[in-house]
Chains A and B, each alone.
Chain A
């Protein structure tokens, strides 16, 4: 059995073959796992989390695209389309969500500088703004109901509730991730705080962009 027992030998060859997947992250990288004691077989690389969130985002995009295409199709072909008047609080909510994204970016910058206390404060601000957005969306529903628009009132109102509702549900998942980053003790976790914050931020900014898209759809397509 040539080769299998001489580990250094194999590693030399691998460097030359230019190994494919399973590349370890560069030494001194950002993954907490790379610390000496867990260096057993196959150290879980942090890259999988970033890959997973990108793939998941693609899937969520398809989910909302199906709904957006249904919206556009119904809008173009229905003869009983009633235009929609968006509740005014929705513009305030949009500003809140954008601020939340900004706070998160500032917070990550603090983390990369090693200022964990500042990071925590800003991260908390981003989380609070996320909650504020959700509360604002509920107020928007309330305003909409007071104006006499229910889910079943007309096609446009059905789309309004399903878009805001499903976006809110996805955003709630994002808030859970934000809280995870805030409260998890990362000394014991499989993933480092930097990676968790980065992956969460991808999703959070995506939620931001998705909301702008849905809002533009509802506003321009009314």
Chain B
């Protein structure tokens, strides 16, 4: 332990005696926030591997429709099964990876630690929320294997269950951040990760109730024969103009109200993580920290209002596409503030280019590349022109899917020593990073191109049939996918090997970070801070950036005696007056 650190542990005095919990209380019904956070991460890891595997299957069937893969082809060889593959892949990735891992996984583990709390506000609700999420994952997996009709009902019920779990998690996060902060942890002193989790929890609170309501409508339609969306099946057989004008539009409105904001639910915690890691590995304060916090709020707020940008061609009031288009473009403003803040932090910094930092820089690169194509999609006239699905697929995979995954991976490399007291292997990590980084650009950039090619042939039909170039692009994408997925084996190997055999870290704070989680032993004890109450004296990013031996101030480091005396004076005077 280095001398500049203020640390908490149990050595200071006897911890209060707690009865030893029983077997079930320690395993299935463990309400500890770190245990639950880790379980969410395991769940997300399983889901991401399965989801990646499904995308591989889809790409293979897309290029070689007749390919027979032993055992697996049965799941994806007919058009219906291909649709089921797509739904399952999307549900897994959006719900159980992008929504779950950065918020419920990393957030549950580190939010209480970073604000100096010993537990989430409602541990029992947290436990219910986790098991509901797990049950929802089980339900969706089962839905993939049963008959399409029953499968869809089961899938809808699973989504409803997931919404319920997400709402409980969001409630817990909001209350924990508002009411359980340690002494001295004022709002401006909160790390940006905590800000992001907090804003994200509030956004989730608002939008998952919408999706829950939609799921209730759907289930009621399917099970009770009510008439909320039921004309949908009737109208889908009617001419397009008629179908668009009535019921279909209701479903679109409600769905996109959720789904567009869901993109920001996946991204917000990643923004927080990226700002936090960039600052730590640059050993510099977050540039324009206050503006970055405001930008996070702005992303949350704008994200809530841009749902109409998916419905430009669905018969809205002629003025509303203009409004939504403006709102969608105005999202660029907070995004620009964040990007500027990241570059400002990096400016002139002595960067530690380890794997965590590489992934975070990869995030910035992917976010910028994907964000630029988002500007095209925010224009209402381009949506009416027939840019095909491939463009949209390339856009949101880059900016949402892969970028968020990079932030999660960066966070994992960053916090791994805290969670397991071991480091992930750097060589394997860097190799994995470069292969994945090159791989995802090779997969998703040609997709943009494919999308624009369809635009050249507005008569419709498949790009594959029209141009040989389109066909070879698709084959290229599929090969790139195979290589990228194969590269993930490196990560899996690194992860599993490091869990058991990785380099041990005895240092509590190997990255020289300032936030509270680094002041406790690794892995943190059950009650996080031992017998002493954590106290916070300063902001989250007090790096001096001068390269001196002690160039950072942990949040819990008390100010020097001289400053303290000047702070104590007024209090002492007040006390003297009272006497």
Residues 251-277 of B, flagged 1 when their CB comes within 8 A of A and 0 if not, give: 001100100000000000000000000
Q: Looking across the interface, which residue of chain B has its beta carbon closest to that of A158?
A: B226
Residues 97-127 of A, flagged 1 when their CB comes within 8 A of B and 0 if not, give: 0000000000000000000000000000000
Q: Which residues of B contact A79 (CB under 8 A)?
A: 246
Count of A interface residues, CB-CB < 8 Å: 52
Inter-subunit contact B225/A17 (CB<8 Å)? no
Q: B352 to nearest A CB, angstroms?
A: 26
Inter-subunit contact B228/A20 (CB<8 Å)? no
Residues 158-174 of B, flagged 1 when their CB comes within 8 A of A and 0 if not, give: 00000000010011001
Q: A222 to nearest B CB, angstroms?
A: 16
Q: Looking across the interface, which residue of chain B has its beta carbon closest to that of A3?
A: B558
Residues 523-548 of B, flagged 1 when their CB comes within 8 A of A and 0 if not, give: 00001010111011100000000000
| Interface check B186, CB cutoff 8 A | yes
Residues 168-201 of B, flagged 1 when their CB comes within 8 A of A and 0 if not, give: 0011001101111111111101000000000000
Q: Which residues of B contact A135 (CB under 8 A)?
A: none
Inter-subunit contact A42/B117 (CB<8 Å)? yes
Within 8 A of A (CB), among B438-485: none
Inter-subunit contact B535/A10 (CB<8 Å)? yes
Within 8 A of A (CB), among B498-545: 527, 529, 531-533, 535-537
Inter-subunit contact A55/B228 (CB<8 Å)? no
Inter-chain contact total with CB atoms closer than 8 Å: 178
Q: How far is the CA of A20 from the CA of B183 in the complex (A)?
A: 6
Q: A169 to nearest B CB, angstroms?
A: 10
Q: A62-B210, A162-B216 are in contact. Are A17 and B537 (CB under 8 A)?
A: yes
Inter-subunit contact B179/A59 (CB<8 Å)? no
Question: Which of B361-369, B394-402, B565-573 lies at the interface?
Answer: B565-573
Inter-subunit contact A77/B246 (CB<8 Å)? yes
Question: Which of A44-52, A84-92, A196-204, A207-215 lies at the interface?
Answer: A44-52
Residues 54-97 of A, flagged 1 when their CB comes within 8 A of B and 0 if not, give: 01101110111011011001100111000000000000000000
| Interface check A182, CB cutoff 8 A | no
Inter-subunit contact B181/A20 (CB<8 Å)? yes
Q: Which residues of B contact A22 (CB under 8 A)?
A: 116-117, 179-183, 185
- Report whether over half of chain A's contact residues are helix, strand or loop; otherwise say mixed: helix
Q: Which residues of A contact B577 (CB under 8 A)?
A: none
Most buried by B among A20, A78, A158: A20
Count of B interface residues, CB-CB < 8 Å: 72
Inter-subunit contact B167/A59 (CB<8 Å)? yes
Q: B198 to nearest A CB, angstroms?
A: 11
| Interface check A14, CB cutoff 8 A | yes
Taking a contact as CB atoms closer than 8 A, the residue among A16, A78, A151 that contacts B571 in the complex is A16
Residues 144-174 of A, flagged 1 when their CB comes within 8 A of B and 0 if not, give: 0000000110110011011000100000000
Inter-subunit contact B533/A42 (CB<8 Å)? yes
Taking a contact as CB atoms closer than 8 A, the residue among A21, A74, A155 that contacts B182 in the complex is A21
Taking a contact as CB atoms closer than 8 A, the residue among A40, A48, A154 that contacts B175 in the complex is A48
| Interface check B72, CB cutoff 8 A | no
Taking a contact as CB atoms closer than 8 A, the residue among A19, A45, A51 that contacts B183 in the complex is A19
Inter-subunit contact B179/A5 (CB<8 Å)? no
Q: A144 to nearest B CB, angstroms?
A: 14
Q: A21-B115, A59-B167, A62-B209 are in contact. Are A158 and B227 (CB under 8 A)?
A: yes
Inter-subunit contact B213/A66 (CB<8 Å)? yes
Inter-subunit contact A55/B174 (CB<8 Å)? yes
Q: A62-B209, A152-B225, A162-B226 are in contact. Are A5 and B571 (CB under 8 A)?
A: no
| Interface check B419, CB cutoff 8 A | no
Q: How far is the CA of A21 from the CA of B535 in the complex (A)?
A: 11
Inter-subunit contact A151/B220 (CB<8 Å)? yes
Residues of B at under 8 Å CB distance from A? 6-8, 12, 16, 115-118, 121-122, 167, 170-171, 174-175, 177-187, 189, 205-210, 212-214, 216-217, 220, 224-228, 245-247, 249-250, 253-254, 257, 527, 529, 531-533, 535-537, 556-561, 564, 567-568, 570-571
Apart from A62-B209, A154-B227, list 9 A-B contacts with CB within 8 A. A4-B556, A13-B567, A20-B189, A21-B177, A41-B118, A62-B206, A74-B247, A78-B247, A155-B228
Nearest 7 CB-CB pairings of A with B: A21-B181, A3-B558, A20-B186, A158-B226, A66-B213, A152-B225, A63-B209
Q: Can you list 13 contacts pairing A with B, beta carbon distance less than 8 Å?
A: A4-B8, A16-B568, A20-B185, A20-B186, A21-B186, A22-B117, A22-B182, A22-B185, A41-B532, A59-B208, A62-B207, A152-B225, A158-B220
Residues of A at under 8 Å CB distance from B? 1-5, 7, 10, 12-22, 40-42, 45, 47-48, 51-52, 55-56, 58-60, 62-64, 66-67, 69-70, 73-74, 77-79, 151-152, 154-155, 158-159, 161-162, 166
